[in-house]
Amino acid sequence: MERMSLLREPKQRKLLFSAGLSWMFDAMDVGMISFIVAALAVEWKLGAQQIGLLTAINSIGMAAGAAVAGVLADRYGRRAVLVWTLLIFSAASGVSALAGSFAILCVLRFIAGFGLGGELPVASTLVSESVPIRERGRAVVLLESFWAAGWIVAALISYFVIPDYGWRTAFVISAIPALYALYVRQAIEDSPRFTELQSERVPLGKRLALVWSAEHRRSTITLWILWFTVVFSYYGMFLWLPTIMVMKGLTLVKSFEYVLIMTLAQLPGYFTAAYLIERFGRKFVLVTYLLLTAASAVWMALSLSAGSMMAAGICLSFFNLGAWGGMYAYTPELYPTAVRSTGVGLAASFGRIGGVIGPYLVGMLVAQKTALTSIFLIFFVAILLGAFAVLFLGKETKGTDPDRM
């Protein structure tokens, strides 16, 4: 595998690592929710629909945060919005440890989701704009690989902390990023491209019109379909994974152990996507990894033994998160700098609607005793729809400059 020249640039390496850690903390928070709801289901005697509602509310917050932060980042800069969203989600997550009722926890999870949803598209835009074109896709996929690290940390905390010290302690740990946000404020600079255009800022109404103009409409439609189907399937499957493992006969602690092992497979999924995306292009990575994700979902649904579940889960993690990396790399490349963060934020926001529907739909179907095979078939179809949208509607952006297209 060829050397990644990006890593030889100290300034870019620092940016990637600094933004990556904020991404890791986001993933840690989202990951811990999937484990915490499994524990809450036992302690608070929550039903399947309540679990689905809690995870859905978190995604509603993410949808709102992505849209608002995307718009604000094109007005006030990527770095400022990155810091504020980091502070919002970590503070709300830490306060969640004090929640005394299901309703209060839902409110806090909405606020945390708002910060989470806002941070992700802004961070990817910042990194995409701050590295050379030849390294842009790889850099953003490597940024996305920190998501796997965050899930691994979440799985470790959940495995070693929740069974002995309870879910409230896990939430307290998730407040740590608030301190890190103070470091980020000093450690990184805004993107050079945004800084160059500060005197040419486009009004909000015009930005929204440009995203849906004839020039960008096809790209916007492609991205909205892609984001919706990927987020819908990811949150529908992965937030329920520990609970599904229990439903298939594993103990709560054993399900945490299995999900931890599956999560480790995300890292090679990202790294292979990072290599392939600059070698064969964005569409190749997205279509290939999404098709293999769909196949893995069917395998998971049909798995009867613990070994088969483990193998299917590893493949699901590998290909699904590799596709996520490709999606985050692809999205900013379809819009010029003046409207980039707005376009990325709106696509991510629409995708988060899928993140609302997915987990809640699973909760409803589980409550109705729907077979897991039928549930996973829904995700199989959704993933195929996303892959075909990119294949037939998407355009290749490898090596292109959206400001000169």
Contacts of 393 (CB under 8 A, 6+ apart): 218, 221, 222, 225
How far apart, in Å, are the Cα atoms of 334 and each of 121, 340, 342, 362, 388?
14, 8, 12, 33, 18
The amino acid present at 273, given as its one-letter code, is A
Is the Cβ–Cβ distance between 211 and 331 less than 8 Å? Answer: no
Residue (of 236, 328, 245) closest to 282 by Cα position: 328
Please state, in angstroms and rounded to a whole number, the distance separating the CA atoms of residues 247 and 297.
Answer: 17
The pLDDT score that the predictor gives to residue 4 is 45
pLDDT of residue 404: 64
pLDDT (0 to 100) of residue 21: 87
Q: What is the pLDDT of residue 403?
A: 66
Cα separation, 358 vs 379, in Å, equals 9
pLDDT at 98: 92
Distant-in-sequence contacts of 389-393, Cβ < 8 A, 24+ apart:
389/221, 389/222, 389/225, 389/226, 389/229, 390/222, 390/226, 390/283, 390/286, 390/287, 390/290, 391/283, 391/287, 393/218, 393/221, 393/222, 393/225
Q: Which two tokens stand for residue 114?
A: 């708002």
Give every CB contact of residue 203 below 8 A, 6+ residues apart in sequence: none
Q: How far apart are the first and last CA of the chain?
A: 31
Q: What is the pLDDT of residues 273-290, one digit of tens each?
A: 999 999 999 999 999 999
Six-digit token string for 363: 């909760």
Residue-wise pLDDT for 330-347, tens only, equals 999 999 988 899 999 999
Ordered domains of the chain (ranges, CATH)? 9-183+203-397 (1.20.1250.20)
Question: Encoding tokens for residue 219?
Answer: 């790209």
Q: Which residues of the chain have pLDDT under 70?
A: 1-9, 197-200, 242, 247-256, 403-405
Nearest to 23 by CA among 189, 158, 142: 142
Residue length of the chain: 405
pLDDT at residue 27, as a whole number? 85
At 1 the pLDDT is 39
Question: For every residue of 227-281, which 3-state class applies, written as one string?
Answer: HHHHHHHHHHHHCCHHHHHHHCCCCHHHHHHHHHHHHHCHHHHHHHHHHHHHHCC
